Every structure is written in C-alpha cells, then in structure tokens.
Structure 1
Amino acid sequence: MENRIVVKCKNVGKTFIQGKEENEVLKGVNLAIKEEEFVVLFGLAETGKTTLLNLIAGLEPVTEGTIEVNDEIVDGPKPNRGMVYQTTSLFPWLTVLGNVEFGPAVQGIKKTERRKKAQYYIDLVGLSGFEKTYPIKLSGGMKQRVGIARAYCNEPKVILMDEPFGHLDAQTRYLMEEEIERICAKEKRTVIFVTNNIEEAVYLADRILVLSDKPSHIVKEYQIDLPRPRNITAKEFLRLRKEITDFVERSAGEVDG
C-alpha cells in the first residue's frame, strides 16, 4: 500500500513588502510529499528554501495558493509540525531534559509521562548522561542533537529542518548526517530538509527538489534510489552528485546570462 500524501503545496507564492519595495521570493510552487518520505529542498543561496519551509511550518502566511498538512490548511504553527533550526535556539536557562520536554509541558502532559518521553528521545540522539547539562556546556553537535530530540518529543507528523548542520565543522557535520539517518530509520517521520550542500542532499534524501532562482519554483526532481547507509565514494553516488551540481550551475548560468 502506497504511503499517503501528508504535505501539499498548491500554486504557492510569497511576496515580502518593505515600504514601497516588493520582493517576490516564491511563485507557483507545487509539491506533494508522502508519509515517511525524506525530501530535500535544494538550491543555491537566496532561492527561497527557508521561506518555503517557514510557510509549511505556519510561521509566515502565504501570499497566494494553499498549503495543507494532513489535509488541513496551514494557517499558523501547530504541534503536528516540528522545526529544527540552523541555530539551535535552545533555552539557555533550561537543562537538556528541560529543553526536550518543553513542548509536552506546554501541552499540559503530566510530568511523569513527559519525562519518560523526553528520556526516550534523549537516549535516541545519544545524549544519555547529559540530562542535567545546560546548553552553554554543550558542543555545536550536541546542541543540534538536543534540538532534534526536542522536535521529535512533540511527536509531530512532519519534521522541518532548516540547514541544521550548516554551522558545524566538516567532521561533526558528517557525523550528524549519519546520526540523522539512524534516527530517521528508528523513528520514521515525514522530513523536509533544507540544504545547499549537494553531498548532504544525496546522502540523506529519498527525493531532491531543486528550486530555481527568485521568484523560486521547483524546476527539477531527483528520486534517490541508492541503498542505505550510503557510500559517498560509490560510483553512482558521485555520478548523481555531479549530475545535480551540473544542472544547478547550468540553470544559474542561464539566469545570469
């Protein structure tokens, strides 16, 4: 039985207005994302990837078109969508446990139940033993693990990740890519992941959606059928990476020309 569609964008557009200036960032975006699919939004800088993610999250209203999550029109944030940011945005006055259980606490879930749930996700992301640690004592990779655990602890249907490893050093980034694949295999969710790193995109994605220059829309789609865990030096991996890179560079060149 084929997985159902959980995220739909229909002719979505977004224009920001600053004084008399209009900045049309997205125009005519159409997409459909299936349950438990890992979709990467890929493109060069300033192509509206984060804007589209924020629209799906309900953090910004659409200018035109509609977005649906689980057959409901998105008109603001809801617990069925979890967000992981590039900068972790942890509460510095809360411990790891306090940060992870924050969402369930706001929802009024009883302390015993939410602590059990938070502990499960802390263990899942490999932070057992750091429950009482404050964010200032954590490395960048550890902070992102807390952010991922916090997003999962709300048990959303859709996880939205905005370049979550963009600020990490190369070695930690590779480690976190391996970790997110492991976590997604264990706790299956629909994931929409923004990146401008082609290797990261091919390593993680079931499907890559390439966005054009502004006003952005989806210009190309790649189904990534490589076996997991993926080998970044494998012939087919390198071929796909080059094919997508060449397409994006050609597209940018056509716009510049």
Structure 2
Amino acid sequence: MEEKRTPIIECRHVTKVFYNQEGDHLVVDDLNFEVYENEFVVLFGPGQCGKTTVLNLITGLEKATEGEIIVNGEKVDGPSPKRGMVYQTTNLFMWYNVMKNVEFGPKVRGVPKEERRKKAQYYIDLVGLNGFENHFPIKLSGGMQQRVGIARAYCNEPEIICMDEPFGHLDAQTRYLMEEEVERISSKEKRTVVFVTNNAEEAIYLADRIILLHNCPTSVHKEYIVDFPRPRDYVAPEFLALREQITKDMDRTL
C-alpha cells in the first residue's frame, strides 16, 4: 500500500478580491491544491491570470478574502522567514555587495557573523559565484543577479521557496542556462519550491508537478505529473508531447 503523504502547503477554497474605487476585482476564485515536502511545483498559466497573487497569498504578503492557506499545519496570516521569495526583478540591496546580500537574512535573525559568512559562502559557491563576493549588483549581469537572489533565498533556510517568473526578463540563452542551474541546485539542495511561469518548456523542464491555472479569476484547471528522468531533454518525444498537450489545455483556459 502506498504511504499517504502529508502536504506541506494546503490551499483550501481560497478566494482573493481586490477592492478599489473602480469596483471589486476577483482575482482568485475557490482555489484548491496541495504541495508536498521537497516537491517542485510549477504554477502555470497565461499572463495576468493571478499566479503572482497566489504566490503572495502563500508567502503571506496578501491575505485571502475567503478560505485559508495552511503551511506545515499553521494558517498563513502574514510573512515569515520560513517562506522565501525570488522575484522577477531581483530586489537586491544595490548598496550591499554579493556577500552582504546573501547573508542578510541570517544577519537579521541574529546568526553570528562567522556562522552566517560560512553559510553564505556555501550558497555563493553553490550558485557559481565564487570570486564575486565583493562585487556590487550593478557590476553583475542579469543572470548573475538572479543567482544572488537564489543564493539569498536558500541561505535564509526557509521551508518553502517561492519563485515568481525569476527568468522572465532574461534573454533566451541566459534563461536556458538559469533553468539548468535551478534544476542542478534543486537536485542538490532539496527544498519545497513553488515556481511561477507562463513558459511551457520551462515548466516541464523544472517541475515534478505542473498546476495549470484558469485565466483570471484563477482556479485549478488541470494537473500534470512530470516523471521524466533528469536532466531533461527539451526535444525528447515525451517532452514535446507534453508541451503540446499543455499548450492546448491552456488555450481552453482563456
């Protein structure tokens, strides 16, 4: 008998309405899904469908209008260092060098300097930035800045890492490189990851499971288990077949 897994994230009948002078805007409508420990889940859907709002609800940056989000048995009611975030724009501290950016979370939590420096160096090495510790973000390429953002998120040792289209603004070649890097890092440094994208190839390359969302107001349309061997081949027949299927299914969500 297959062992029943306990979800680390539970979205239960989540609805989100934004209120403003122009009227109410329903963005998330009765959203239900679960994420399990060390699973890499991709939230996939058309642009402006509500994916970022879902991430903000999971991290506690937004509060649900109805329903609830449970993380490790506790209801999410605000931000927590247990839930890290990597943004499309890096949001690095431009006045800090790479080392100070990466060690920022542990520093805020009061981790002693020697310990946090050692931890930060580990993640700087992990993302391939050894030798750039004293560089400031303005001197780094877009891909390197995202590596800093990823190292910073991991260094804070959250239970969950949320990534909001982190490679959306990169050129195609750098994007492919960063996808390979995230796959490598995730294989070595196991964490529960919720990753947002509107790129089908990126979703299939990275995900253990893909959740296809409806257009705004968003809810779950369909799920796909991606059990291809890693690292994945973008032109393998099974990869291309799933890409075609997901693309067709997304057209039905519009």
1:163 to 162, 165, 171: 165
1:205 aligned partner: 207
Provide the identity percentage: 63
| Count of matched residue positions in the alignment of Structure 1 and Structure 2 | 252
8 Å contact kept, 2:68–2:75:
yes
2:32 aligned partner: 30
1:47 aligned partner: 49
8 Å contact kept, 2:221–2:253:
no
**2:246 paired with 1:247:** no
Q: What TM-score do the two structures reach when normalised by structure 2? A: 0.98
1:58 to 51, 56, 60: 60
What letter matches 1:71 in structure 2? G
**Matched position secondary structure for 1:26:** strand
1:147 aligned partner: 149
1:91 aligned partner: 93
**Matched position secondary structure for 1:251:** coil
What is the alpha-carbon root mean square deviation over aligned residues? 0.9
What letter matches 2:136 in structure 1? Y
Aligned pairs for 1:229-248 within 5 A: 229-248=231-250
1:255 aligned partner: none
Residue deviations 1:124-181 (CA, integer Å, cap 9, x gap): 0000000000000000000000000000001011000000000000000000000000
Aligned pairs for 1:4-19 within 5 A: 4-19=6-21
- Cα deviation for residue 4 of structure 1 reads 3.1
Residue deviations 1:5-58 (CA, integer Å, cap 9, x gap): 100010000000111510000010011100000000000011100000000010
Q: What TM-score do the two structures reach when normalised by structure 1? A: 0.97
8 Å contact kept, 2:213–2:253:
no
What letter matches 1:10 in structure 2? R
**Matched position secondary structure for 2:85:** strand
What letter matches 1:200 in structure 2? E
**Matched position secondary structure for 2:253:** helix
C-alpha distance in structure 2 between counterparts of 1:176 and 1:147, whole Å: 12
2:112 to 110, 113, 122: 110
**Matched position secondary structure for 1:237:** helix
Residue deviations 1:171-226 (CA, integer Å, cap 9, x gap): 00000000000000010000000000000001100100011012110010011111
Q: Cα gap change, 1:105/1:39 in structure 2, threshold over 3 Å: closer, same or farther?
A: same
C-alpha distance in structure 2 between counterparts of 1:122 and 1:46, whole Å: 33
**Matched position secondary structure for 2:230:** coil
Unaligned runs of 5+ in 2: none
What letter matches 1:244 in structure 2? I
C-alpha distance in structure 2 between counterparts of 1:158 and 1:245, whole Å: 28
- Cα deviation for residue 250 of structure 1 reads 2.7
1:124 aligned partner: 126
**Matched position secondary structure for 2:123:** helix
After TM superposition, what 4+ stretches of structure 1 lie above 4 angstroms from structure 2? none
1:73 to 67, 72, 75: 75
C-alpha distance in structure 1 between counterparts of 2:252 and 2:70, whole Å: 32
2:195 aligned partner: 193
C-alpha distance in structure 1 between counterparts of 2:142 and 2:54, whole Å: 25
- Could you tell which deviates more after superposition, 92-101 or 208-217? 208-217
**Matched position secondary structure for 2:8:** strand
Unaligned runs of 5+ in 1: 253-257
- Cα deviation for residue 104 of structure 1 reads 0.4
- Cα deviation for residue 249 of structure 1 reads 1.0
